[in-house]
Chain A
Amino acid sequence: MYTFFQTLVAGFLIGGIYALVGIGMTLIMGVMKIINLAHGQLMMVSMYLTYVLFTQFNIDPYVALIITMPALFLLGLFIQKYFLNPLLRVESILPENQVLMTVGIGMVLTEIMRFIFRSDYKSVKTSYSMSAIYLKGLSINLPMLIAFGIALVLTIALFWFLLKTDLGKSIRATAQNKEAAVLLGVNAEWITILTYGIGAGLVAAAGSLLLPIYYLFPDIGGPFTLKAFVITMLGGMGSTVGAIVGGVVLGIAESLGSTYVSMALRDTVAMVIFILVLIFLPGGLKKITKI
């Protein structure tokens, strides 16, 4: 029984971080209908930023959030404005040009970071990096718990923003029907720029929260882009609630798979879920949750 509950706790906690990684991507996908394949790489940039802030200025990773999120938000605005939007105006053979562009951006970001920081593994060691709470013998990793909490807060804030503010409503309108939104006076181009910025800001938070737990090297982005993609599909494109549930489901599935099947098949479990969702629930969890 202990094994089962400990696995569940581990899966739940890692799922919180997965959710935060996925939520930015799902937002971008919902509004722009493009798959942002530079997502994990944006997180990597945020991690390096957090790392520099910690080592050079002694700023705690959690405090660094207030710097990394706006920084990546601006980077996101820049990428969308100058790299992705211009592609919309070009007549092209492939409608997927934007997606291909994000792949390129991801590679450039990775290589820039490799150029600056080399391929070395880096990590930050905070006083709480290794602390855990013990609850009736179950160990709960403290940094992961905090990350989960912050992820939850950020998601609620995003939710409120999307539901209650004019800007949020414009984003939702653009996501539902771009032409209609434009006709009703929404500046769609600005909305796409803003959305990409918010997406980048959210994944920046994931990066900062992950750093006390995990380590860092330039190629770390790729696997997380993949995770985000799976979560987005699992949750249903554009569904923020779906992304949270999707992230946690993925985390728990991976953990249960590792414990009861084999750790070597951890990624296989994720991929099997991915395929099953595509076959049996093509709309993702959004079909069930409706938001």
Chain B
Amino acid sequence: MKKLLSFVLIACMAVAMPTFAEETIKVGIILPLTGEKAKFGEIEKRSFELALEEINKAGGINGKKLEFIFEDDTGRPDVARSAAEKLITKDKVVMLGGGYGSSETFAIAGVAQQNKMPFLVNTGSDNKITEQGWEYVFRLNQPVSEYPKALASFLTEVVKPKTAVILYENTNFGTSGSKEFAKLCEELGIQVVMNEGYEHGGVDFKPLLIKVKEKNPDLVYMISYVMDAALLMKQSMELRLKPKLFVGGGAGFTLPEFQKNAGKASETVFSATLWYQTLKYPGAQEYYNKFVEKYKSDTEYHGAQAYAAAYVIADALKRAKSLKPEDVRQALAETDLMTAYGPVKFTSYDKMTNQNKLPTYLVQWIDGKLELVWPKEIAAKPYVYPIDWDKVWGQ
């Protein structure tokens, strides 16, 4: 027994040794690595790892190596909460990053604020995450209320619709996004004839779409994750729902999987997006190319957010006076960095604090490819409008 115990002890020490030899700066990253949102979690994790490799190759944090400890929130707020607590108390990380789903991000942010642990959000976009006056919570990405801004100018200048239908998944993200879009419609003088949520993961959206068809709107705005998005479009095509345009509110509609699953039903569908590789930011196109080359799969704005977040984390840690949470927080607050995702600087506007302000864009699926079409000045391809659905969908 004693022999066994000492053997176990030695084994433990042998495993623990390398960490003694090489001190690293640990940052906890919480992402959905399994579960329904794992597709996005994977893109983000890969982007974090890509950036980490580059940061450490370039000398790490003032000579010390940066280390990301990934935790899986499985797409559930309660799991996200305990993952954050584990990272703070057990792993003794110096700050937190990640945050994908809005509900999960909100849970993590609460824990971070309670424990006075800086937390840089890179995707969770429900407005209320930065509306609590939490000084330890920073957000790099645009809040969901910004998503339709580019769309707004497109609608007033090009389409001029009279009626709109809003469909959204009944999560924090969807509900918050639908409210914001409804407000925007009111400002633009568009009448919202139907505003309805759905439980995500449905097999059959036809009951919902039949109602939309009955209302015959000019515009259908949908806030959905990728597979719901694909099914919504497929079934819209089946029911021959023909508004002037379909617009996705970010999330699922920009992923390559959307096109792959919806096939020709994805054609000419617009989507709000937060980033595109042809944007004139230093490193944007390079990030895209590196990712595609390394992982042999496509990436989009979620990945760019994670990639940029890694650089913001490294930058803040480099500038921090010490690795105490208060100093890291201070350094984050003073961030002024150009990233592949755009400039990062935390300000306060509307009701939000520590919020990075960035424009949003409009993309459209044209001939099976996602193209940046709006604002006009930076468009990579002209938009397709008006749309002849019979021609797009075939008989």
Report A's interface with B, CB cutoff 8 A. 2-3, 6-7, 10-11, 14, 17, 114, 118-121, 123, 125, 129-130, 132, 139, 141, 210, 213-215, 217-219, 223, 254-259, 262-267
Contact = CB atoms under 8 A, between A and B. Distances in A.
Interface in B234-291: 234, 237-240, 257, 260-261, 263-265
5 contacts: A118-B38, A119-B34, A129-B263, A218-B34, A257-B207
A265 B196 CA distance: 11
Nearest to B74: A219
Nearest to A142: B238
Interface residues of B, number: 39
Contact of A119 (B35, B214, B227, B261): B35
B35 A266 contact: no
Interface of B: 33-36, 38-39, 41-42, 170, 196-199, 201-208, 210-211, 214, 226-227, 230-231, 234, 237-240, 257, 260-261, 263-265
Interface of B is mostly: helix
A6 B42 CA distance: 39
Nearest to A255: B207
Given A119-B42, A255-B204, A263-B205, A3 B238 contact: no
A6 B206 contact: yes
Given A118-B38, A130-B238, A259-B211, 6 more contacts: A3-B211, A121-B227, A129-B234, A130-B234, A130-B263, A259-B210
Contact of A139 (B42, B208, B239): B239
A119 B204 contact: no
A126 to B, nearest CB: 11
Given A114-B34, A121-B261, A214-B203, A263 B198 contact: yes
A223 B207 CA distance: 19
Contacts of B261: 121, 123, 125, 215
B36 A217 contact: yes
A119 B38 contact: yes
Interface centre among B33, B196, B197, B210 (most CB of A within 10 A): B210
Nearest to B197: A264
B208 A258 contact: yes
Given A132-B238, A217-B36, A121 B207 contact: no
Contact of B197 (A119, A121, A129, A262): A262
A215 B207 contact: no
A266 B202 contact: yes
Contacts of A258: 198, 207-208
B197 to A, nearest CB: 4
Contacts of B237: 130
A99 to B, nearest CB: 24
B234 A120 contact: no
A263 B226 contact: no
Contacts of A125: 260-261, 263
A213 B238 CA distance: 12
Leading 3 A-B pairs by shortest Cβ distance: A119-B38, A258-B207, A263-B198
A213 B203 contact: yes
A116 to B, nearest CB: 14
Nearest to B208: A263
B295 to A, nearest CB: 12
A119 B201 contact: no
A215 B204 contact: no
Given A10-B204, A14-B204, A264-B198, A120 B210 contact: no
B105 to A, nearest CB: 19
A254 B208 CA distance: 11
Contacts of B197: 262-264
Interface centre among B198, B203, B207, B237 (most CB of A within 10 A): B207
A119 B42 CA distance: 9
B39 A120 contact: yes
Contacts of A132: 238
A3 B241 CA distance: 13
B226 A121 contact: yes
Contact of A215 (B210, B230, B264): B230
Given A123-B261, A264-B196, A223 B208 contact: no
B196 A263 contact: yes
A119 to B, nearest CB: 3
B231 to A, nearest CB: 8
